[in-house]
Amino acid sequence: MSHSTSSEPDERGWDEPWYRVRKDGFQASFLPSAGEDLDEICNVDVFVTLSDGSRWTATVFTIAEVERLMRLWTGTDEALGGRYFWVSDGLIVRDPGIESMTDVIAGLIENGEFSEIFQRVTGN
């Protein structure tokens, strides 16, 4: 299995409220919370536009964030008291941060698994 090893994007920066990262073949638009450290993000919505113009979406979580949420829900009605975690457009990654998440997206595009994980956005 090959994966992208380049962590340097072609272009990155704020386009409020989005943080956009452009790499060869795609643009990822992240929607972090106000004041959130971009290197520590562990739960974020992302929209990806591929070079063919198609648009895709997912919510990216770290393993630690999933564990934190499940603990938080313990003793509540949420997810049967935190006994499970489910999201239809979720992608769980090991490491936090925009750079790490962008590398995963690039790797998924490169290895052909991207369209199996991200949800295609239809319409305008």
> Model pTM?
0.87
Helix (H) or strand (E) run with residue 66 in it: helix 63-73
Q: How far apart are CA 57 and CA 60, in angstroms?
A: 10
Helix (H) or strand (E) run with residue 34 in it: none
Contacts of 53 (CB under 8 A, 6+ apart): none
How far is residue 2 CA from its own chain's centroid?
Answer: 20
What confidence score (pLDDT) does residue 1 get? 39
Q: How far apart are CA 13 and CA 11, in angstroms?
A: 7
The one-digit pLDDT tens for each residue of the chain (124 residues) are: 334 445 555 899 999 899 999 999 999 999 999 899 999 999 999 999 999 999 999 999 999 999 999 999 999 999 999 999 999 899 999 999 999 999 999 999 999 999 999 999 997 6
How far is residue 96 CA from its own chain's centroid?
Answer: 10
